[in-house]
């Protein structure tokens, strides 16, 4: 079977309010091949497929949310399944390895020291492991549009799904111009005589065109970008080990002397708490692999492998490279502090190479940083558009955003995200500094809310799965750490939010004589995502009067992955029973 769907069916003219029989996953009607384009612009017309009507249902508080319609539409999305396993793995890597690792780690090192930096990344990596395992189980069982935002609506509360979905869409929509500005700043390293507005225009045009070319081209672009980034990180790890052992001309043996002087920790426990959000921001994007489930060919095979392998690869790259950075760059280095929070000159990777006296290689690393931030900008466009399209499918966003053309492109959502991308031109305005600050503030905590929502939804999903008489062996993919991992992830993420609230109210180094306005500014710069989420949640709760979804009422039928027959799963389990123990452990983790 090739990338395109080989099974097609004619949509029925009516759809019942309750969908007791679910259309097989690979037999969902898309209409992509039924209407071959006759003109160049014909492919931009709306894709054909069944659509559950959102008839206005009025209640005491106005319009009432229609959960059956939301579940049907996300399960029968006109998005096309053209992503392969290799695309999924590189999409997750491409969405995460970027500004946070290459540049943000520098300010984090200056804030908390090398030990706090390493511990924070290990802790967030462990939390992320719990989160992606929960996401993998749900996304394989229900490879629907919107993924975790749809799961929040379906398993927790439509109001929370609305709030978390818009939080995620806004995170990526505002991260995209931030990353484009970062790419323009990397050009300053070479003193290129190119106007800032011209660089912004070139970068924005490239990102929009990649996303307009379809999901397969997007996957190939991310695959290429990610290979470059992974190669650079591996190369830096090897080079860093050589530099640390005195293998260059200008540096003798370094070892752990910077951990002894100026020290391993800086600013105590508060410095560590400050780094947690930076680490979470650096890891954000890994969950994109779940969002891509609705556009993945054979998700039963591709998603489990991607979910497991991507985590280990990213964790290895992050933790080892962060450890190397902490050994090579002291937290007192004045170069770590920059006028821009995304200035590549403040990258500890570049600082380490410059300190070793290796000529020319710092420019190569700067080029990698530029590619990395453009890759994240590209992933940001994808994350924002797919989330907006899914919200519209559920009736939680303007209906126009649900428009998908015959090639599976959410054109209206792409247009909206592209318009928000114009904020990147603030780079050439007098408010460049505040623009960086507030764009970061909008996206800083968003990943933590998203991950907490995934863990919470998985807990609800497992309760409903058992209560409704299903066996865990019926799951196509089962999380190796189960519900316990989701509880650990959820509690850890709540504690991180509490720690961030503490440093937002009383930031490190702040004077005790700050005015009320300065206190408020510090708070919102560090914690802006929280009031935004609460505002969205409260507004939807008041307008629609939704209730928490009861476990016994959770819909485990619509959109369920039933492509793999029971016989196939039984044969797989029988084959697995003959594996040696080392292979069972390896397959569970990788």
User: DSSP for 158-202?
Assistant: HHHHHHHHHHHHHHHHHHHHHHHHHHHHHGGGGT----HHHHHHH
Relative to beta strand 62-63, strand 58-59 is antiparallel
Asked if the structure places residue 296 within a domain, the reply is: yes
Backbone angles phi, psi at 132, to 5 degrees: -70, -30
pLDDT computed for residue 179 by the predictor: 87
Question: Tokens 């428009």, residue?
Answer: 403
pLDDT computed for residue 215 by the predictor: 83
Asked if the structure places residue 30 within a domain, the reply is: no
Which of 88-92, 417-421, 436-440 is modeled with the greatest confidence?
417-421
pLDDT computed for residue 25 by the predictor: 34
* Diameter of the chain measured on Cα atoms: 76
Backbone angles phi, psi at 63, to 5 degrees: -65, 140
> Nearest CA to 139 among 255, 347, 288?
288
Dist. CA 385–CA 394, nearest whole Å: 14
For residue 405, give the DSSP letter. Answer: B
Inter-residue contact 83 to 288 (CB < 8 Å): no
Q: State percent of the chain over pLDDT 90.
A: 28
Asked if the structure places residue 320 within a domain, the reply is: yes
Is the pLDDT higher at 98 or at 52?
Answer: 98
pLDDT computed for residue 29 by the predictor: 37
Per-chain mean pLDDT for the chain: 80
Query: In whole angstroms, how far apart are CA 467 and each of 67, 456, 560?
Result: 20, 17, 17
Supply the DSSP string of 255-304, one letter for each residue. TTHHIIIIIS-SSHHHHHHHHHHHHHHHHTTTTHHHHGGGGBSSHHHHHH
Asked if the structure places residue 49 within a domain, the reply is: no
Dist. CA 132–CA 450, nearest whole Å: 11
489 has pLDDT over 70: yes
**Res. 162 pLDDT band, cuts 50 70 90:** very high
Asked if the structure places residue 50 within a domain, the reply is: no
pLDDT computed for residue 214 by the predictor: 83
Which domain range does residue 451 map to? Answer: 79-589
Query: For the chain, what is the domain count?
Result: 1
pLDDT computed for residue 435 by the predictor: 72
48 has pLDDT over 70: no
**Res. 249 pLDDT band, cuts 50 70 90:** low
Dist. CA 558–CA 556, nearest whole Å: 6
pLDDT computed for residue 418 by the predictor: 95
Our measurement of the distance from residue 378's CA atom to the centroid of its chain's CA atoms, rounded to an integer in Å, reads 12
List the single range of 51-65, 123-137, 362-376, 441-455 with lowest mean pLDDT.
51-65
Asked if the structure places residue 22 within a domain, the reply is: no
In this prediction, residues 202-212 reach a mean pLDDT of 94
For residue 553, give the DSSP letter. Answer: G
Q: Whole-model pTM?
A: 0.85
Supply the DSSP string of 217-236, one letter for each residue. HHHHHHHHHHHHHHHHHHHH
CB atoms within 10 A of CB 81: 26
Asked if the structure places residue 520 within a domain, the reply is: yes
pLDDT computed for residue 55 by the predictor: 42
Instruction: Provide the 3-class DSSP secondary structure of residue 38.
Output: coil
Query: In whole angstroms, how far apart are CA 340 and each of 173, 188, 436?
Result: 20, 12, 8
Inter-residue contact 439 to 177 (CB < 8 Å): yes
List the single range of 66-70, 242-246, 433-437 with lowest mean pLDDT.
433-437
In this prediction, residues 451-479 reach a mean pLDDT of 92
Q: Encode 117-149: b = buried (16+ Cβ within 10 Å), e = exposed.
A: bbbbbbbbbebbbbbbbbbbbbbbbbbbbbbbb
List the single range of 59-68, 188-197, 321-330 with lowest mean pLDDT.
59-68
Model confidence over 113-154: pLDDT tens digits?
Answer: 999 999 999 999 889 889 999 999 999 999 888 888 899 999
Query: CB-based burial of residue 441 (10 Å sphere; 0-12 exposed, 13-18 middle, 19+ buried)?
Result: middle
Model confidence over 291-314: pLDDT tens digits?
Answer: 888 788 778 777 887 777 766 777
CATH of residue 500's domain is 1.20.1740.10
Compute the C-alpha angle 291/129/299, nearest 5°.
35
**Res. 570 pLDDT band, cuts 50 70 90:** low
Asked if the structure places residue 53 within a domain, the reply is: no
- Partners of 296 in the beta sheet? 83
């Amino acid at each position: 079977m090739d990338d395109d769907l080989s099974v097609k069916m004619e949509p029925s003219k009516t759809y019942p309010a309750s969908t007791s029989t679910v259309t097989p996953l690979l037999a969902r009607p898309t209409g992509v091949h039924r209407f071959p384009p006759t003109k160049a612009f014909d492919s931009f017309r709306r894709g054909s497929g069944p659509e559950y009507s959102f008839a206005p249902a009025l209640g005491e508080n106005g319009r009432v949310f229609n959960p059956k319609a939301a579940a049907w539409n996300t399960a029968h999305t006109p998005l096309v399944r053209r992503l392969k396993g290799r695309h999924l793995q590189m999409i997750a890597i491409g969405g995460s390895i970027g500004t946070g690792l290459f540049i943000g780690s520098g300010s984090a090192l200056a804030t908390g020291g090398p030990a706090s930096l390493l511990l924070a990344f290990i802790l967030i990596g462990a939390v992320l492991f719990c989160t992606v395992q929960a996401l993998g189980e749900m996304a394989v069982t229900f490879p629907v549009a919107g993924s975790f935002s749809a799961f929040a609506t379906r398993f927790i509360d439509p109001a929370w799904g609305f709030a978390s979905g818009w939080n995620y869409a806004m995170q990526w929509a505002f991260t995209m111009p931030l990353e484009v500005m970062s790419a323009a700043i990397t050009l300053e390293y070479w003193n290129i005589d190119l106007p800032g507005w011209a660089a912004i225009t070139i970068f924005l045009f490239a990102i929009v065109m990649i996303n307009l070319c379809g999901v397969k081209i997007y996957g190939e672009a991310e695959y290429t970008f990610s290979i470059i980034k992974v190669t650079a990180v591996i190369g830096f790890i090897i080079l860093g080990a050589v530099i640390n052992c005195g293998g260059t001309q200008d540096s003798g043996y370094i070892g752990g002397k910077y951990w002894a002087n100026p020290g391993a920790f800086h600013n105590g426990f508060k410095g560590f708490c400050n780094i947690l959000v930076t680490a979470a921001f650096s890891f954000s994007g890994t969950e994109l692999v779940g969002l891509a489930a609705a556009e993945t060919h054979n998700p039963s095979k591709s998603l489990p492998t991607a979910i497991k392998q991507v985590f280990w690869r990213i964790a290895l790259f992050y933790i080892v490279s962060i450890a190397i950075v902490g050994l090579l760059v002291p937290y007192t280095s004045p170069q770590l502090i920059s006028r821009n929070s995304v200035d590549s000159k403040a990258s500890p990777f570049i600082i380490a190479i410059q300190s070793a006296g290796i000529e020319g290689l710092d420019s190569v690393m700067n080029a990698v940083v530029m590619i990395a931030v453009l890759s994240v900008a590209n992933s940001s466009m994808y994350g924002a558009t797919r989330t907006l399209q899914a919200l519209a499918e559920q009736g939680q966003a303007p209906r126009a955003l649900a428009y998908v053309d015959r090639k599976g492109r959410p054109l209206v959502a792409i247009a909206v995200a592209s318009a928000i991308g114009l904020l990147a031109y603030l780079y050439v305005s007098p408010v460049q500094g505040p623009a960086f600050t507030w764009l970061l503030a909008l996206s800083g905590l968003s990943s933590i809310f998203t991950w907490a929502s995934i863990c919470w939804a998985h807990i609800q999903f497992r309760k409903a799965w058992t209560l409704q008489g299903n066996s865990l062996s019926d799951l196509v993919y089962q999380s190796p750490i189960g519900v316990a991992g989701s509880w650990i992830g959820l509690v850890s993420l709540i504690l991180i939010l509490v720690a961030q609230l503490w440093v937002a109210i009383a930031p490190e180094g702040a004077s005790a004589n700050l005015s009320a306005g300065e206190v408020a500014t510090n708070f919102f710069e560090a914690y802006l995502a929280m009031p935004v989420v609460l505002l969205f949640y409260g507004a939807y709760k008041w307008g629609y009067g939704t209730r928490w979804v009861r476990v016994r009422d959770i819909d485990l039928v619509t959109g369920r992955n039933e492509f793999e027959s029971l016989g196939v799963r039984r044969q797989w389990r029988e084959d697995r029973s003959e594996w040696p123990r080392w292979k069972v452990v390896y397959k569970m983790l990788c």
